[in-house]
Structure 1
Amino acid sequence: MSSKTWLITGASKGFGREWTEAALGRGDRVAALSRTAGAFDDLVAVHGDAILPIQANVTDRVAVTVAVRRAAQHFGRLDVVVNNAGYGLFGMVEEVTEQQARDQVEVNLFGPLWVTQAALPLMRAQGGGHIVQVSSIAGVFSLPGLGVYHASKFGLEGFTASLAAEVKAFGIKVTLVEPAGYATDWAGPSAVHAQRGDAYDEFRAAMARPSAKRGDPSATREAILTLVDADEPPLRIFFGQGPLPLMRKEYAARIEEWERWDEVSQAAFGA
């Protein structure tokens, strides 16, 4: 199999770092984006010109466009674009500030949109490519205390599903990766927490539960390589144990509720 050229955002930490190393380790080339200068010095020392470090913030549309073009010009093409940059915002909907909400959507939703828009003309010109959006199980169901994070991931899922249909004829593949809980710094140093209001103290206490076991991010390396090598990759794929049984229950409950209220729904259409 011929080597691939990747562009990965948020490549200095978590899944981004794991997948950057996995791609380089098998002889692929990677344009690695991060907000932090020098984040890939160690990888450059090992892999040399196979990695192109780019310092850019995905919320800056102009900088993103320049970064994508630079990567394509440097390597000659872009086979895989992975929109991985993102973080968690914890807080009840009422507690989240305007700036926190805007920042969350800027990174988790608009960031992937800007990267995708910049990459599409290049992929069309070369006759194909694969865009991988790192969503979450939080993009297909919701929990209390993560409302705005859910909003950003539901938005990502929405435009990506439309995108897949729009670009299929150009030979461009699109996949939403929906990870479960992993031991990345998503809920650690990278997370933002809204100031807690005492109105929700009892609710928080009632919903508190032991921390679930988190997956090993390094275990996703083979999975991401298998995904981008597939002739017909899925539009959606879970990473981790547990999401599928959870989603079966979630969607069964949705259908049951829609069916229970269907008489009202039908009447709302008019004669």
Structure 2
Amino acid sequence: MTLTTTSDRLWFVTGASSGIGLALTRAALAAGDRVIGAARRIEPLTALVAEHPGRLDALPLDVTDRSAVFAAVDQATQTHGRLDVVVNNAGIMGSGTVEEFTETGARAQLETNFLGALWVTQAVLPHLRRQGGGRLIQMSSIGGVIGFATTGLYSASKWALEGMSEALAQEVAPFGIKVSIVEPGGYTTGLYTSMRTEPAHPAYEPLHTALAQMWGDAEDADPAGAAKALLTLAGSDDPPLRLILGSAMYDVAQQAADSRKAIWASWEEASRAAD
């Protein structure tokens, strides 16, 4: 089966009812593509479905439910015949130091951000392989590049996603499936306002106070900018394995890479002595 890569693509987007997922859904529709928008709550997509009859399907889906994910993907491919671009965008964020995180909070981060993406990935691969290729975009975060105090479990979920996806890219390349990991910074998505905050420990009160002062005036970017970049990525014949979104985040990532290289170099003797 020949994939359509320049127009009338069919997107499968999780977390499509808010933030970057919603902005991407709107941008793809504006570009003339069709979208299957999956989300736990599809009510925010109702008006958009009405505006684009026959080109947007709103699909109720909890990505943490593996059986439901496989059923939804099978339904989508039976209805539409193909999937051109799959975007694992569904995610949540929790705040708390590593010591403060409860088991419930930690599991929620991993089950949605990592396992949810894994289930979608496993569900779509047989279809992409059968049709001779496709695009798989894994929405990570700058938190998948560098860890920040009080978002350690969020970063853990994104680092897991990145490690899995880097291996996956090598595994599926022979089938014409191209995998990209996208690392955005702060966008106005509702991720922060809806995040779960773990019960505070008195020992970390100075840290929480300092971080609140540091980030209190931070302004997030319009997710439409991220959506535009994702359309460019999906249309590339040679997409990168990783793509950073945002000027500030690009600088942060470069600084992190330089810092790691400097540390490795300063400890090179000890590293090589371990042979």
Using the size of structure 1 for normalisation, the TM-score is 0.95
Taking the aligned partners of 1:37 and 1:19, their CA distance within structure 2 comes to 15
Select 2:241's aligned residue among 226, 235, 240.
235
Aligned to 2:3: none
Q: Secondary structure at the match of 1:74?
A: helix
Aligned to 1:70: 75
Aligned to 1:124: 129
Taking the aligned partners of 2:68 and 2:253, their CA distance within structure 1 comes to 37
Taking the aligned partners of 1:146 and 1:247, their CA distance within structure 2 comes to 17
Q: Secondary structure at the match of 2:136?
A: strand
Report the Cα offset of residue 37 of structure 1: 4.5
Taking the aligned partners of 1:206 and 1:61, their CA distance within structure 2 comes to 40
Taking the aligned partners of 2:210 and 2:122, their CA distance within structure 1 comes to 43
Amino acid at match of 2:80: F
**Deviating more after overlay: 245-254 vs 191-200:** 245-254
Aligned to 1:41: 46
**Deviating more after overlay: 247-256 vs 103-112:** 247-256
Aligned to 2:170: 165
Amino acid at match of 1:120: L
Report the Cα offset of residue 42 of structure 1: 0.9
Q: Verify: 1:109 aligned to 2:114, yes or no.
A: yes
Taking the aligned partners of 1:62 and 1:205, their CA distance within structure 2 comes to 42
CA contact (8 A) 2:7 2:31 kept: no
**Deviating more after overlay: 67-76 vs 250-259:** 250-259
Q: Secondary structure at the match of 1:176?
A: strand
Taking the aligned partners of 2:262 and 2:229, their CA distance within structure 1 comes to 34
Taking the aligned partners of 2:209 and 2:31, their CA distance within structure 1 comes to 47
Aligned to 1:215: 221
Report the Cα offset of residue 202 of structure 1: 1.8
Taking the aligned partners of 2:52 and 2:110, their CA distance within structure 1 comes to 34
Taking the aligned partners of 2:61 and 2:91, their CA distance within structure 1 comes to 14
1:78-108 C-alpha deviation (Å, 9 max, x unpaired): 0000000001110000000001101110000
Aligned to 2:95: 90
Q: Secondary structure at the match of 2:247?
A: coil
Select 2:12's aligned residue among 7, 15, 19.
7
Aligned to 2:161: 156
1:165-217 C-alpha deviation (Å, 9 max, x unpaired): 1111111111111101111111112x111011111112233444143231111
Taking the aligned partners of 1:252 and 1:12, their CA distance within structure 2 comes to 37
Select 2:271's aligned residue among 256, 259, 265.
265
Aligned to 1:201: 205
Using the size of structure 2 for normalisation, the TM-score is 0.94
Report the Cα offset of residue 72 of structure 1: 1.1
Q: Percent identity?
A: 44
Q: Verify: 1:249 aligned to 2:241, yes or no.
A: no
Q: Verify: 1:81 aligned to 2:86, yes or no.
A: yes
CA contact (8 A) 1:64 1:118 kept: yes
**Deviating more after overlay: 44-53 vs 206-215:** 206-215
Task: List runs of 5+ in structure 1 lacking aligned partners.
Answer: none
Select 1:25's aligned residue among 22, 27, 30.
30
Change (3 A) 1:37 1:14: closer
